Chain A
Amino acid sequence: MEILVCARRVPDTSENEIELNSTGNDIERDELVYSINEPDNYAVEEALQITAKVGGQVTVVTVGGEDDEEILRREMAMGANQGVLISDDAFQGSDGKGIATILKGFAQKGNYDLILTGVQAEDGGAQVGGMLAAMLDYPFASLVNSIEVLDGKKLKVGREIAGGNREMNEIDLPCVLSIQTGINEPRYVGMRGIRAVASVPIPTPSASELGIDPATVGSSAAKVKRVDYFVPALGKGAEMLRGSREENVEKVLELVAAKGGLK
């Protein structure tokens, strides 16, 4: 099975202290460390597990610049057969639809049975997967937390439903799935693995090579524009109980019951 995983490089929320920049329209990016968007990493792991079972190739693709190469190398160290960096000045300032358009251009050049995206980017809006599916006229399932290959033409996918329920769906290939974290346990990638793929060439197709009309992407085509970015004011803080342990237990039970948490 030929699998394409769309990935993205994001500031790692657990290793950064996110602060606003002075103009207030973005975060301060000077001392940030980046990594692959976590759900995308699960998607790559899932792709690798599928191809380990049924054979095939895994390609990881991202839209961006030179800096974004690091996540491709990381996923190649993990086992992806190829990394592709789609890069063009014309892509600057693309909105979700623009990114989906670019990815569509790339996907059509290949022959992919399955396209995976992470459920959402940590700094994004969970838009690209669905739009990409629509543009390609492929079926789409979101929030996927299990995949079983039924035969060459169908998958059985599990989806997470609010309230902790699950539903199972059959979906025809080719299709697009957005992958939920927790679907698997991604393997560890150390510095050593990344070094081993350091010199593997990464193709960097441009808009023209992919036949993408520059007018459909980039800031000029973006119909969604960020106008503000801020840290919401903190609400009323937690109530601290300062009695003895027994008193606190009593009080907690009382409070939880009052809010309807205990029946």
Chain B
Amino acid sequence: MLEGIQSGANPTSWLAQGQALFLFLHVLGVACFGYIVAKRLVPLIRAERDPRLDRPWARLGKVFRFWLGQWKHPRYKTAGTLHILIFTGFILLAMRAFTVLIVGVSPNFVMPGLSGETGHLYEVATDYAATVVFLCMVLAITRRAVFKPARYEVPAKFGKAHKADAIFLLALIAILMVADSLFEAAKAAGQVQPGQHIEFAAALSLPWLLKIFLVSLPLSVLGGLCFAGYLLHELTFYFLLCYRPFGIQFHVETSLFNVYFSKLDRGKLKPVKWGVSDEHLDQVKSFGVKTFEDFTWKHMLDFYSCADCGRCSDNCPANAVGRPLSPRFISIKARDYAFQHYPMFGRSDNGQPLIGSIYSDDEIWSCTTCGACEEECPLLVEYIDKIVDLRRGMVDDGAVPQSMQKPLKALNSRGNPYGKMEKKKADWANAKDFQQVCQVKTLDKKNGADTLYFVDSITSFDDRLQSIGRATAKILGHVGENFGILGAAEKDSGHDVRRFGEETLFLALRDHNTDAIKASGVTRIVTADPHAYNALKHDYKDVPPVEHISQVIARGVRSGKIEFRPVENGNDVYTYHDPCYLGRHNQVYDDPRDVLDAIPGLKRVEMARSRDRSFCCGGGGLMLFYEPKEDQRIGVKRVQMAAEAGANVIVTACPFCMVNIEDAIKVAGFEGKMTAIDLAELVDQQIVRERPVVTTEAVEIPQECVAGR
């Protein structure tokens, strides 16, 4: 029997008998964990480089906000609340866990700073923390087992359900909490009996409850329970520690690092290879991700860190319409592959190309790069860079869908995906009736301007969308901008060429446009195309600052340069659809809304999914040429959301959104009941014009043309 119980005086000495065993378990547990983590680090060492040691303060800020502050969690109320409680409990219990582990080998150990009153307070806090974590586990298990939220389901094509494993892990944590409380309660009960100082145990906490049952038990039993509680705690602790790196709970260890090293530059894409300048890219043998080791170490860490919560896929438009992409399984499949490719024992196998084994072509082409997944992920896992890297690999191997080869070729030879001749680029501005109200000058050596209106391909060439170009030009004229266009010298911004993985072509387009912009001598750029906006802002270097037209309009409204007449039909209900590359990727949410709210009599409602949770229209750029496998169009889902919100006019601020939404209105059967209009078109329609419209060249505008528009 245990000596401590015989003496009856010192419950902590109950553990003394097990010191050797506990020490052995400590060493074994730590050694196993160390081995497992070392093995898990092997692929990260073989991975592509990815410099993430810069800007430590910004990174710490991310840690405070997203890790310690659990910023993203409340986006899902129930699960988020549970997670915040569990996380807080873990943080509180961390110190206690270490103390308890040390107590096993050094019974009188007290964590420095946790003696006396502070220690008591901390003990009360941890007693409650353990209780809350325990209750959360019960709730979480109930949720998983009984309520089965849809986003945790694993579609058959992605493998077996993860439910059993998830519940097992949750149960282990519950056991850990019970074991800790049992140890604590038995210890406290032992101290009560001989009439010693009564250990304070927080009322209604798990240890407090257990103590009520234990207090009448004989000391010998208490000693045994104390020992058993400790042993169970230690075994569970180390089992969990060593089991977590095999699945969804590895994030307990990796999340801090994943958040610290997360991407800082929103809207930017990673280069083909870090540390290789664009000029030296030709020397890079292989582009993009083809095998697992082509991922960067941070992207591998992302795979380890994914908690399988399914929030990404729950928000993914491609997933919502049954395209073969589910961002969650981009991570899960890569993780499963990594574990099999780098086994715990023995060497890694030779590996295989990822496309065709764990990923399919269509899965990777299905992504619209809308960013909804990244916006939602509590662990800041990145997806767009990985998708683009995988596409770069496919482009490098020539595996580009047939439907996209023609537009890519045309981009190469003509600078636009439609194969239209360069000299037709400014035709939208040359329509006769438009020229009467607004003359747009093409910038060259003789004609300079302060501002460049970067039109981009779709607005220049698509008959329907040219009206966005004309509205934009008229607005720029109205606010008194001295502006011009590049005309034939403007090639496609290449925004989506890059996001579809054709880096070399993108660089050629970028360099061409950069030269043309510089030669024009402008000091700022305005565009009405969020894709061009994002490209000029994030993908181009050394070009003047760029603004989206909605920002220009909002400023005009605030300064009083733009005034609106009331909407004609007061019964219309408007809703604003956030374009991904204006909203999520560039955080322009309020300017377009402020503009709409400044139009007298305009009734505006928000869709359930708006702002940073906006639902993609179906994708722009080359996505218009891709023929996805899907049950339904993404745009159709979006216009249905607008209908649910009670809106009959969808306002957007992107030509690609316009294409997709107008098509979707027809497909969804809302023709005649619902319309779509671009913010620039609406503003142009409602603007109060007191002076002649646009004079980028000094021309007399006949007054009736102005009034008669």
Whether both chains belong to one complex is answered with yes
Q: Indicate whether B38 reaches chain A with its CB closer than 8 angstroms.
A: no
Contact assessment for B409 and A35 in the assembled complex, using a CB-CB cutoff below 8 Å: yes
Q: Which residues of B are found within 8 Å of A189, using beta-carbon distances?
A: 398
How far, in Å, is B276 (CB) from chain A's closest CB? 13
Q: Which residues of B are found within 8 Å of A31, using beta-carbon distances?
A: 421-423
Among A35, A187, A192, point to the contact of B282 (Cβ < 8 A): A192
Given contacts A185-B402, A191-B508, contact A33 B413 (CB under 8 A): yes
**B685-697 interface code vs A (CB 8 A; 1 in, 0 out):** 0000000000000
What 10 A-B pairs have minimum CB-CB distances, sorted nearest first? A187-B398, A15-B419, A188-B400, A192-B504, A33-B413, A191-B504, A188-B398, A14-B419, A15-B410, A188-B405
Q: Indicate whether B406 reaches chain A with its CB closer than 8 angstroms.
A: yes
How far, in Å, is A73 (CB) from chain B's closest CB? 13
Q: Which residues of B are found within 8 Å of A192, using beta-carbon distances?
A: 282, 287, 396, 503-504
How far, in Å, is B301 (CB) from chain A's closest CB? 29
Q: Which residues of B are found within 8 Å of A14, using beta-carbon distances?
A: 406, 410, 419
How far, in Å, is A122 (CB) from chain B's closest CB? 14
Q: Indicate whether A164 reaches chain B with its CB closer than 8 angstroms.
A: no
**Contacts A/B (CB < 8 Å), 25 sampled:** A12-B409, A12-B419, A14-B410, A15-B419, A16-B419, A17-B421, A31-B423, A33-B413, A33-B414, A35-B409, A78-B398, A186-B405, A187-B397, A187-B399, A188-B399, A188-B400, A188-B408, A189-B398, A190-B395, A190-B412, A190-B504, A190-B505, A192-B282, A192-B504, A195-B504
A59 to B287, CA, bound (A): 27
Q: Which residues of A are found within 8 Å of B395, using beta-carbon distances?
A: 188, 190
Provide the main secondary structure of the chain A interface: loop
Q: Which of A12, A31, A192, A195 has the most CB of B within 10 A?
A: A192
**B276-293 interface code vs A (CB 8 A; 1 in, 0 out):** 000000100001000000
How far, in Å, is B628 (CB) from chain A's closest CB? 17
A187 to B401, CA, bound (A): 8
Q: Indicate whether B502 reaches chain A with its CB closer than 8 angstroms.
A: yes
How far, in Å, is A195 (CB) from chain B's closest CB? 6
Given contacts A12-B419, A14-B419, A31-B421, contact A191 B412 (CB under 8 A): yes
Among residues of B, the one whose C-beta sits closest to the C-beta of A195 is: B282
Among residues of B, the one whose C-beta sits closest to the C-beta of A182 is: B402
Among residues of B, the one whose C-beta sits closest to the C-beta of A34 is: B413
Contact assessment for A12 and B504 in the assembled complex, using a CB-CB cutoff below 8 Å: no
**A34-45 interface code vs B (CB 8 A; 1 in, 0 out):** 010000000000
Q: Which residues of A are found within 8 Å of B400, using beta-carbon distances?
A: 187-188
Among A178-234, those with CB < 8 Å from B are 185-193, 195-196
Among B482-523, those with CB < 8 Å from A are 502-505, 508
How far, in Å, is B281 (CB) from chain A's closest CB? 8
**B251-285 interface code vs A (CB 8 A; 1 in, 0 out):** 00000000000000000000000000000001000
Q: Which residues of A are found within 8 Å of B414, using beta-carbon distances?
A: 15, 33
A14 to B409, CA, bound (A): 10
Among B398, B402, B413, B505, point to the contact of A35 (Cβ < 8 A): B413
Among B578-599, those with CB < 8 Å from A are none
